[in-house]
Structure 1
Amino acid sequence: MTTTDIPAFPTGTILGYPRIGRRRELKKAIEAFWGGRIDAAELEAAAAGLRRATRQRLAGLGLGRRDSSIPESFSFYDQVLDAAVTVGAIPARFADLVDADGHLDLAGYFTLARGAGDNLPLEMTKWFDSNYHYLVPEIGPETRFHLASDRIVREFEEAVADGYLTRPVIVGPVTFLLLAKPSDGAPAGFHPLDRLADLLPVYQDLIERLAVAGAEWVQLDEPALVSESIDIPRERTLAAVAQAYAALGGLDTRPGLFVAAPYGSLDDALAVLATAPIEAIGLDLVRGTVPAAVPGLKDKTLVGGVIDGHNIWRGDLAAAFDHARRLETLSPNVAVSTSTSLVHLPHDVADETKLGPELAGWLAFADQKIGQVATLARGLATGRETIQAHLDAATASLASRRVSPGVRDGAVRSRLEILTPADFSRGDYESRVAAQAAVLDLPPLPTTTIGSFPQTGDIRRARARLVAGDLSPADYRDVMRAEIARVVQLQEDLGLDVLVHGEPERNDMVQYFAENLDGFAVTENGWVQSYGTRCTRPSILWGDVSRPRPITVEWSSYTQTLTEKPVKGMLTGPVTILAWSFVRDDQPLGETARQVALALRDEIGDLEAAGIRVVQVDEPALRELLPLKKKDHADYLDWSVGSFRLATAGVADQTQIHTHLCYSEFGVVIDAIRNLDADVTSIEAARSKMEVVTDIQASGFDHGIGPGVYDIHSPRVPGVPEITELLERALEAIPARQVWVNPDCGLKTRGYAETVDSLRNIVDATRAVRATLV
């Protein structure tokens, strides 16, 4: 269609919907495909069935069947990987997976995500400040962009055949290139954004094909426009936005272009989009505010993201409606939406039977958020009075939260009020090193793991039987102790230096603590995609936090009786507990973090008293929560680092404190990591081939550091030569006295065969490198 024929944008929409299925149907189908239990055709059929069920569900919740309000946002694994495959950005090492026409089949698609043989998968990192992980495209001067996949068009046509006119969604060209990394062969100074002019014709081709298929609107996600954390001059980003949308908007025949910018305010990018030849702009009004008027804005449809797509609270619906109304001062054409895709949320509060009616009444999962969008859209169309009852009900829910028992605990708040600077500080680091060396007596390049070992079917079945009441607590403890003993013996046989108990009793590194701390609730079916087929159930942090009793001491103490080697007590840190939970929105995050930190401080003190001399407090989410706006960094780093120090500063010099960070772009938060003052920090490094050691060297970081040598997010087993090369690369930049050797992350999701082989190779490589040290 021509731009004069583009219909009005729908009054209410969402930016995306969970794609794993209400009962993780997609996860199960993909893993069946990986396991050879179904073929590609059967996987495609399962995915098509899930997409059809999703469209039907969204229409039933109030989105229109024929007005483009339903986003076509399905992915088998990751939306950034989808964009890379669509435009033909396949790294050279995977060239044999591509057919003569440049197409990649499903097996090849998954190989990019998981690796195969000696071919490493695409690097994976966090999607802005969320717990979702995306796969990082690799682009160089040699990348041949072309429309290599028409899956987006076919899925739109599938919807049309079923009677739905949906809105195709793809990562926008500027965000796609800003999130990419230079390929291995790229020259110094090259940035993937250098290839924008070559990429745009592919996007033009795709958009024209969607127009021919009958699409009336296309959504281009450009969250990179709200971030100040991307290492490229802002002026260049804005110029790229102008160039990209002049090209896409200048097409003679195309659908309407809706550019969505979730996770923050557009700031100076808004003026560029306002003058670009596009029809609609998505504004995140949960993280951002209603902007000032800029030239050209009155000619756009402003899609106000007034419903929080990132958290599960029912929220202030009256305030959301007022925000949407204020947009009408900037443009006569206003619509409402979620602030982000709903991929960050579980499906439906109605699936939860154990939360209790009061707490459930405070919540809104993805389906309830859609209901809120539909309500506000109706109010925009027919007047506030037609939805006043809904606004009043949400206001009453907020009022009930404020006075409910447990939301505020006087004892917890009194404890916070008497904290002093001494509660956040340990002794001199060099004195601690000497004290710990005398107690632990470790070799150079000490080896350890991050904490968890594979969770077998027997472990999961025992936990399920305990929950169902078919296994007594005493019998469950015996099963777990037997597993711990097996894991300890395995580590002894392999020759690891600092051992762990393997965490068989833990369902999830956050949920386990949530189940043992006051102020939390857990869900039955609140599954959220973390990456690929990896799903988690974030806990709900609804009230003041305290620890009613010790949580991990019994397991760690038992483990230490099985070995003469030091055993690590394993805890999840306060920032990660917040990041991987749905956190209360009625007080500052820093206050909540300090409450969690005090509970962990009590646990660490009990571990130390029980004779545990190494305690690891994992903070893989430290970088994840870093605000996208630089003006907010100082406050965040103050409370996040402070909460870790509050948790860990109560121990003696002889007790070694470890922490762990993964997919955290170490160099971005190097000062914060130094300020954590952990004795040893383990980090992700294998998938990026030790790129991080350059940042470590440049920073002068002088504490213990364990750059990972085994990428546990892939099923491949790294060989001794590969691990040796990674270790040698680390030692070129970091003094050997600082270096620890460990996997990138916990081993929970891996199988035992690959885990044992990989750990054996780690130990063998470490022994060989040790022999070369002077």
Structure 2
Amino acid sequence: MRTAVIGYPRVGKDRELKFASEKYFKNEISENELKDTAKRLRRENLDLQKANGIDFISVNDFSLYDNMLDVAVLFNVIPDRYRELSLSETDTFFAMARGYQGEKGNVKALAMKKWFNTNYHYIVPEIDDNTEIKLVGTKPFDEFKEAFEHAENLKVSIIGPFTFLKLAKYTGDKNISDFEQVLAKEYVAYLSKLGENGVKWAEFDEPYLVRDLTLDDIKLFERLYRVILAGKGNIKVLLQTYFGDVRDIYNLLTQLDFDAIGLDFIEGKKSLELVKKNGFPADKLLFAGVVNGKNIWKNNYGKSLEIIRKLREIAGNDNIVVNTSCSLLHVPYTLESEHKISDEYKKHFAFAKEKLSELKDIAELADEKDIKKASASEKFVANAELFKNRVDSVDEKVRERVSNIKESDYERSPEFKEREKIQKDKLKLPLFPTTTIGSFPQTIDVRRNRQDYRKGNISKEQYIAFNKEKIKKCIEFQEEIGLDVLVHGEYERNDMVEYFGEHLAGYVFTEKAWVQSYGTRCVKPPIIWGDVSRKSPITVEWSKYAKSCSSKPMKGMLTGPVTILNWSFPREDISIKESILQLALAIRDEVLDLEKAGIEIIQIDEAALREKLPLRKSDWYSEYLDFAIPAFRLVHSGVKPETQIHTHMCYSEFTDIIPVIDAMDADVITFEASRSDLQILDSLKENNFKTEVGPGVYDIHSPRVPSVQEIVDALGKMRSRIDDSKLWVNPDCGLKTRGIPETKESLINLVKAAKTVRG
């Protein structure tokens, strides 16, 4: 039985790509040096997969920033404002991703959104009426030639035209129908060029197929692929889907002239049912995604082999390929870098490299014709043993507390309108109050202080004294420029989820389990090992100290339960609902302690609220929203009316869940809006959004500094849709990753803009 991998992590075992890219941005290394690093990482990934006997190794799954952006550049979808900068090809690519500010101009980056139900962010292609779609790039062909020198079992992957068109943004009068045929023809040209280079297999990734599809969507997909498949020549085409099942289009997929179809049997609830009910063509390969590409727990060989056994009965012995459920981009590189986790825990995990071994094991076990013999093998028995018991995972007190939650615990009183008046009378903030989302730049000395404390190089007293000095200076700066609601800067925090996880029972932490979030940004999600509870107050002393440094309102900064879960690697032995409620009770304890300490504004960030939202609307409430939204209310329902509750969300599609967000019953919500051209504002107005709002007035994921006039103009657009009494002024996210000079200049301009509009 053959094996395949949809995609592999690209930042490197030690984040080599991240550091090389950042050096390139600072002109510390040349473009050739950056590309040499990228080439070395691609070779390492290839060699790893080759060594593990992977039969279908992906090429072109690598990117210097983002694969959607790669496709845009490949097919000449480059807005004029970036061409007019007259930069090199590489610098134009990065300008689209990060924005540009320099001697050649000042241009914002393209929009950035979450990639389906993951924490990965993709760059949104922008198609205007003048866009001339044509195959101009060479990246896939160059990377195939490079890889073919070392391996022959290659498939060249690319995001398919349907997903590309559905996720793109159209800025003029034209829409998808105006571009579909020309894009289809250019994909034919792409296949032709692959053929010229000796490519045997082409993979088209179409994750959009797992969403709810309309009849128009299905017709669009069919039109695109009738053209593409008619021109495929001798190349075999794999249609790869992931993140769900393809119930709306399965029969069409099996009828079209694809040589192989990839289905997700982890998140695809109906994938097995679809194959059993409708059959599978004998002339196609079925790439069966049975190894989870999004979580780090060991694969249950028994379950995977049972799926494969059932598929074999339908598709035949030789037509099944053991595959990952999605790209391994979403898991860390390797367990080999983890030296502090005990083997008692580590034996339950599999990162990207270890998942290659799992694919090989499953294929070998599946090849054993005698099921009893396979079940008695050493590998199978050792794997089965892992799922019998996990030490330290159950806390009966936590489970009892969850079972005792009452319906009244989810409701806050009095109602929003009455609270809003009480809070305005107490806080006495000006019109268009200014604030930040929470974190301030984490400079080298801040990170070194934390590392020195962890390593025992400095005492706890020294560590605290350093952070208090940073907090004091941060508050002095905020007062100096005139911000209205202050924050303490979060200098004690490594990550908004990992920091809280470190103070909660039930978590396991890694050393180098980095996962790419976007571009050069990597996160290190903690692992939820067992039942979760708060061990002791987490943020209270830092917030109390910050409050003592100023007479202005000070926000206490917390991460909400949904985001903590979504940005951790979750358990698979209990439900998402159970995990979220455990976390909600732990954060509720922290909220109430902050209030007791005199903190009058508490921000509970739910940046990742949408991430676990099912991709199909029919599943939204039954599988997620019916418990995720009440869980947020559970966190803050116990506070007094005068305590103002804020929350924050970023880089997701929110327009279709605006009523749900309002139902969180926060007092103020801030969210990303700068890259999305404030599109969410129309939805707020249409839904009579009651909560006070702070749409981000500038993009913190770009190094460019917004002018005062740019922010004034943004506020003007906001005021046409949001009542003045409900509008806050803030950046679109935390400032942790930004440099100090650009942060200071941006915030000074933000305050000036707010004062200008007040005037």
Alignment-derived partner of residue 224 in structure 2 = 244
Q: Contact 2:280/2:315 (CA < 8 Å) preserved in 1? A: no
Structure 2 match to 1:196 = 180
Matched, 1:310 2:294: yes
Which residue is 1:325 aligned to? 309
Counterpart Cα distance in 1 of 2:53 and 2:505: 37
Query: Out of 96, 117, 124, which is 1:129 matched to?
Result: 117
Q: Runs of 4+ in structure 1 displaced over 4 angstroms?
A: none
SS in 2 for 1:268: coil
Q: 2:466 matched to 1:468?
A: no
What one-letter code is carried by the residue in structure 2 that aligns with 1:415? R
Does the aligned pair in 1 maintain the 2:694–2:729 contact within 8 Å? Answer: yes
The one of 715, 725, 729 equivalent to 1:727 is: 715
Corresponding residue for residue 41 of structure 1: 32
- 1:516 is the counterpart of 2:512: no
SS for the counterpart of 2:336 is helix
Q: How many residues are matched? A: 744
Aligned counterpart, 1:364: 350
Q: Which moved more, 1:147-156 or 1:381-390?
A: 381-390
**Structure 1 residue 382: Cα displacement:** 4.1
CA drift of 1:559 comes to 0.2
CA distance in 2, matches of 1:565, 1:477: 23
Q: In structure 2, what is the equivalent of residue 270 of structure 1?
A: 250
Q: Distance in 1 between matches of 2:368 and 2:192?
A: 35
Query: Which secondary structure state, in structure 1, belongs to the residue aligned with residue 585 of structure 2?
Result: helix
What is residue 100 of structure 2 aligned with on the other side? 116
- Cα distance per residue 1:237-259 (max 9 Å; x no partner): 21122222222221262421011
Match for 1:297: what amino acid?
A: P
Q: Which residue matches 1:715? A: 703
Provide the residue aligned with 2:189 in structure 1. Answer: 205
Shift of 1:121: 0.9
Contact 2:2 2:54 in 1 (8 A): no
Q: Which residue identity lines up with residue 58 of structure 1 in the other structure? A: Q
Shift of 1:163: 3.9
Find 1:106's aligned residue among 83, 90, 110.
90
Aligned partners of 1:392, 1:307: CA distance in 2, in Å? Answer: 18
**Does 2:627 align with 1:639?**
yes
SS of 2:556's equivalent in the other structure is strand
Counterpart contact for 2:442–2:737, Cα < 8 Å: yes
- 1:564-613: CA deviations, max 9, x gaps? 00100000000000110000011110111010010001001110000000
Instruction: Give, as a single letter, the amino acid of the residue that structure 1 aligns with 2:677.
Output: K
Q: Give the counterpart letter for 1:173 in structure 2.
A: P
CA contact (8 A) 2:60 2:139 kept: no
Greater Cα offset, 460-469 or 123-132: 460-469
Paired AA for residue 380 in structure 2: L
Deviation, structure 1 residue 108: 1.1
In 2, distance between residues paired with 1:50 and 1:457?
26
Using the alignment, how far apart are the partners of 2:85 and 2:367 within structure 1?
Answer: 51
TM-score, scaled to structure 2? 0.96
- CA 1:199–1:70: 2 relative to 1, 3 Å: closer
Cross-structure match for 2:482: 495
Q: Secondary structure at the match of 1:583?
A: coil
Give the alignment partner of residue 677 of structure 2, picking from 689, 714, 723. 689
For residues 21-49 of structure 1, what are the alpha-carbon distances to aligned partners after superposition, in whole Å with 9 as ceiling and x for unaligned?
00001111111111101111111111111
Give 1:508-587 correspondences, 5 Å limit: 508-587=495-574
Change in 2 beyond 3 A, CA 1:252/1:502: closer
Match of residue 162 from structure 1: 150
- Which amino acid is 2:608 matched to? A
Distance 1:749 1:708 in 2: 16
2:43 equivalent in structure 1:
52
- For 1:623, what is the secondary structure of its paired residue? coil
The offset of 1:297, in angstroms, is 2.8
Superposition deviation, residue 70 in structure 1 = 4.4
Conserved 8 A contact 1:424-1:646: yes
Decide whether aligned partners of structure 1 residues 241 and 305 sit closer, same or farther in structure 2, where only a CA change above 3 A counts: same
Superposition pairs of residues 373-384 of structure 1, within 5 angstroms: 373-383=359-369, 384=371
> Deviation per CA, 1:288-310, whole angstroms, max 9, x where unpaired?
13123437633211111011111
Matched, 1:628 2:615: yes
- The answer for unaligned runs of 5 or more in structure 2 is none
What letter is aligned with 2:308?
Answer: A
1:611 is aligned to 2:598: yes
Equivalent positions of 1:53-452 (< 5 A) are 53-64=44-55, 68-97=56-85, 105-117=89-101, 118-183=106-171, 186-187=172-173, 190-228=174-212, 234-251=214-231, 253-288=233-268, 289-290=271-272, 291=274, 292-294=276-278, 297-332=281-316, 333-383=319-369, 384=371, 385-386=373-374, 388-401=377-390, 404-405=391-392, 407-427=393-413, 428-452=415-439
Change (3 A) 1:76 1:254: farther
8 Å CA contact 1:207, 1:254 repeated in 2: no
Partners of 2:680 and 2:651 lie apart in 1 by 11
Cα drift, residue 98 of structure 1: 6.5
For 2:401 and 2:727, the matched residues in 1 are separated by 38
1:658 aligns with 2:643: no
Cα offset, 1:663, TM superposition:
1.2
Give the whole-Å Cα distance in 2 for the aligned partners of 1:448 and 1:29.
34
Kept in 1: contact 2:60–2:158 (CA 8 A): no
> Is this contact kept in 1: 2:49–2:57, CA < 8 A?
no
Retained in 1: the 8 A contact 2:279–2:315? no
Tell me, which stretches of 5 or more residues in structure 1 are unaligned? Answer: 1-9
Kept in 2, the 8 Å contact 1:177–1:193? The answer is: no
**Partner residue of 2:23?**
32
Over 3 Å counting, the alpha-carbon distance change for 1:598 and 1:252 in structure 2 is closer
User: Deviations for 1:526-568, whole angstroms, at most 9, x for unmatched residues?
Assistant: 0000000100000001110000100000000000000000100
Instruction: Tell me the amino acid that sits aligned with residue 361 of structure 2.
Output: T
Against the structure 1 CA distance between its residues 378 and 456, is the aligned structure 2 distance closer, same or farther, given a 3 Å change threshold? same
| Cα distance in structure 1, aligned partners of 2:232 and 2:567 | 45
Distance 1:297 1:514, change over 3 A: same
Distance 1:260 1:582, change over 3 A: same
Residue 395 of structure 1: how far off its partner (Å)? 1.5
Please give the alpha-carbon distance, in whole angstroms, between the structure 2 residues aligned to 1:386 and 1:644: 47
User: Is the CA contact 2:610–2:652 (under 8 Å) kept in the aligned structure 1?
Assistant: yes
Q: How far 1:521 sits from its partner (Å)?
A: 1.1
- The structural deviation recorded for 1:326 is 1.4
Aligned CA-pair RMSD: 1.5
Deviation, structure 1 residue 645:
0.6
- Asked if 1 retains the 8 angstrom alpha-carbon contact of 2:155 and 2:200, the reply is yes
Give me the whole-angstrom Cα distance separating, in 2, the residues matched to 1:399 and 1:338. 24
Structure 2 partner of 1:669 = 657
Deviations 1:474-521 (A, max 9, x none): 100000000000100000001000000000000000000011100011
Shift of 1:447: 0.4
CA–CA distance in structure 2, aligned partners of residues 452 and 111 of structure 1: 25
What is the distance in 2 between the residues matched to 1:293 and 1:96? 54
Contact 1:293 1:330 in 2 (8 A): no
Alpha-carbon displacement from aligned partner over 1:709-753 (angstroms, at most 9, x marks no partner):
011011000001100000010001110011111000000000010
Q: Which piece of structure 1 moves more, 497-506 or 667-676?
A: 667-676
Q: How far is 1:168 from its partner?
A: 1.1
Partner residue in 2 for 1:751: 739
What TM-score, normalized to structure 1? 0.94
